[in-house]
Amino acid sequence: MSDIQTHGDGDMDEPQTRWAGADGRDGGSERGHPPEASMHLESGVLDDDLPEEEVLIKSPIWLITFGDVSALMLAFFVMLFSMSHLQSEKWDSIISVMATRDQPRVEGKPKPVGERAVTRVSLVPAFPTGYLQRILEEKLASDPILSSIRMTGLDDQLVLSLPADRIFTDGVATLGDQGRRALSRLATVFKQFGNRLDIRGHTDPNPPPSGSGFASNWDMSLARALSVARGLDDAGYTEDVTVLALADGQYSHIDRDIPEAERFKLASRVDIVIVPEARGQ
């Protein structure tokens, strides 16, 4: 058993307690706590300083699989969205360029291929010939004088064929009254649009009639074209026109299934060709 001794100094200091062991040795003095209590206190402080044991909680295996499936579905829908908004116009332009280009194109300054390079000129367009054809069809159909004019629409030209036996009195190159009236009415229509006109004279393969004053079909076809050009000028169409003499050079283009007499009649004519470019160029 330990003996407890208490000493007082006679002042107001805290009393000191000395602890004696079972063998009678002095156990030292402590202020307020015995040795066993001090050991328990130190042990408690050390226990509080130890870190708490971390508990690892593992996710269930189905959650990992669900996350992988969700990521794959998201990537799939992103791909669908990006492909559903393809701009077809840009894609078609790219494909057309790639299909027509065998080798990559190298951009650079144009170089002349010869000693004298020909300058390319862009012509100013006028009314489309298809639009003019619809207007002239109504005009020709309602006019008894112009109803004999044949109209042919080509790819980029509109051809009005005036039969020589209807507009020339002698069937050669002198305008008659009916021809002048027809050109007067045509001039009124031609002044309403700015397309360029070409006037082309034609003949059949037969040589010019004797006493006509023409040495060849070239001369006669040129005289016919000039007569029509002057008739338009007299009627008020004062714009520049191109006059050409073709003689019987276009005779082979007439359908061979047509009887020869009819082919000769179709070949003897004057064509007024309306082109899609603006006049004065």
Structure confidence at residue 234 (pLDDT): 94
Whether residues 267 and 145 fall in one domain:
yes
Structural domain count, the chain: 2
Cα 212 to Cα 224: distance, rounded to the nearest angstrom: 12
Q: Does 180 map to a domain?
A: yes
Q: Does 23 map to a domain?
A: yes
Q: Does 182 map to a domain?
A: yes
Pick from 207, 240, 200: nearest CA to 222 = 200
Residue 220 and residue 170 in contact, taking contact as beta carbons nearer than 8 Å: no
For the whole model, what pTM was predicted? Answer: 0.55
The CATH number linked to 148 is: 3.30.1330.60
Whether residues 17 and 137 fall in one domain:
no
Q: Does 215 map to a domain?
A: yes
Mean pLDDT by 10 residues, the chain (281 residues): 46 48 48 49 48 64 84 87 65 61 59 59 74 84 82 86 89 88 91 90 90 90 95 92 91 84 90 85 64
Q: Does 146 map to a domain?
A: yes
Q: Does 166 map to a domain?
A: yes
Structure confidence at residue 51 (pLDDT): 54
User: Is residue 96 exposed (0-12), middle (13-18) or buried (19+ Cβ within 10 Å)?
Assistant: exposed
Q: Does 134 map to a domain?
A: yes
Whether residues 145 and 269 fall in one domain:
yes
Residue 11 and residue 28 in contact, taking contact as beta carbons nearer than 8 Å: no
Whether residues 137 and 272 fall in one domain:
yes
Structure confidence at residue 202 (pLDDT): 94
Whether residues 144 and 14 fall in one domain:
no
Q: Residue 230 is part of which domain span?
A: 129-278
Parallel, antiparallel or unpaired: strands 195-202 and 242-247: parallel
Residue 231 and residue 180 in contact, taking contact as beta carbons nearer than 8 Å: yes
Structure confidence at residue 245 (pLDDT): 93
Whether residues 138 and 274 fall in one domain:
yes
